[in-house]
Amino acid sequence: MTTLTTHRPADITHPAPTEPAKPTGSTRRFLHYTGQSILTQVRDWAFLGFIIVMPTTVYLFFSGIYGDRTTDGSGVDVAAVMMVMMATYGGLGAAMNAGSQIQSERSSGWFRQLMVTALTPAQFVAAKVITAVVVVIPAIGTVFVAGAVRGVRLDAGIWAASLGLIVAALLPMVLFGLVIALWFKPQTATAATTLTMMALAMLGGLWFPLEMMPGPMQTLGRLLPSYWASQVGAWPLVGGDFPVQGVLVLGCWLAVLVAVGGLGYRRAVRTSRR
């Protein structure tokens, strides 16, 4: 203890550094926090079960029922397309989780503790968004592995392209989770997130192909980002024209969610004590 008690911080005995912390230090802190958030998330077994075990199980179940048939003409395995749908569903759960993460840390008061460090609120939000995007990858990847086990055979490039496109197309869904967290009370936000996710999955044709649904529901489905995320993700497999319409729909959702999220963020900053 003697050595400890003689410790004197440099900036007590010397004049205060007048300039704020160097940007390099700020970046280092941001990367540190992002890394720790990802680590915390992947050690959460209940969460992993939710985003990995469930879609994988559902995939294996459905592909077991339908998997032997091929889609008309194209020669693409139904199991492969279904795999992309289920992978999108798994990724959807992971993507939308960033919002509830932020909200639970805010309502528990842990966020306030983080705000008495050098971390900024924007870095906090950015780290949670990156965490959500990163966690989407194992959620999709596990279903892909299950697909490979079921006998889906694709070129390495197609696997990678599909994975990358699904991750990119799920970006609006990360924002969707944030928007819900910003506009709902903590008690209802988790339920609202789960319900929204289920609705997006079902109406967006991730559980049953949109083509099996009645006309009006197909029209509705084609307006949803979840449908287009799976269509964009399946494009490397099924080929044909790139679904440009899907990119437009996803872009519209992104724009609206950014706007609503921005309003919600301003409101949250105004009304809360952080």
Partner 1 sequence: MDAITLTGLTKTYGSLTAVDALDLTVPAGQILALLGPNGAGKSTTTEMVLGLTRPDAGSAAVFGADPVTAMRRGDVGAMLQNGTLLWDVPVRRLLRLMHGLYAHPLPLAEVIERADLHSILASNTNKLSGGEAQRVRFALAMMADPRLLILDEPTVGMDVDARRAFWAAMATLAAEGRTVVFATHYLDEADEFADRIVVLNQGRIVADGTGSQIKAVVGGRRISFAGGRPEYTGAIGVVAQESRGARTVLTSTDSDATLRMLLADASVTDVEVSAPRLEDAFHTLVS
Q: Which residues bind partner 1 (CB under 8 A)?
A: 1, 4-5, 7-13, 16-17, 20-21, 25-26, 28-29, 32-33, 36, 40, 105, 108-110, 112-120, 273-274
Instruction: Give the rounded distance of the alpha carbon of 274 from its chain centre.
Output: 24
- At its nearest, how many Å lie between partner 1 and the CB of residue 162? 34
For partner 1, which is the closer residue by CB, 32 or 267?
Answer: 32
What is the distance between the alpha carbons of residues 90 and 107, in angstroms, rounded to a whole number? 26
- At its nearest, how many Å lie between partner 1 and the CB of residue 215? 47
- At its nearest, how many Å lie between partner 1 and the CB of residue 172? 29
What is the distance between the alpha carbons of residues 247 and 242, in angstroms, rounded to a whole number? 9
Q: Tell me the Cα Rg of the chain.
A: 22
For partner 1, which is the closer residue by CB, 116 or 244?
Answer: 116
Question: In the block, which residue shows the tokens 């990724």?
Answer: 91
For partner 1, which is the closer residue by CB, 35 or 141?
Answer: 35
201 contacts 83 by C-beta, under 8 angstroms: no
- At its nearest, how many Å lie between partner 1 and the CB of residue 189? 17
For partner 1, which is the closer residue by CB, 28 or 68?
Answer: 28
- At its nearest, how many Å lie between partner 1 and the CB of residue 186? 13
Contacts 24+ apart (CB under 8 A), 198-205: 200/92, 200/173, 200/176, 200/224, 200/225, 200/226, 201/89, 201/92, 201/226, 203/227, 204/228, 204/229, 204/230, 205/85, 205/230
For partner 1, which is the closer residue by CB, 36 or 188?
Answer: 36
CA atoms within 13 A on the CB side of 22: 3
- At its nearest, how many Å lie between partner 1 and the CB of residue 19? 8
For partner 1, which is the closer residue by CB, 14 or 153?
Answer: 14
Coil vs helix vs strand at 70: strand
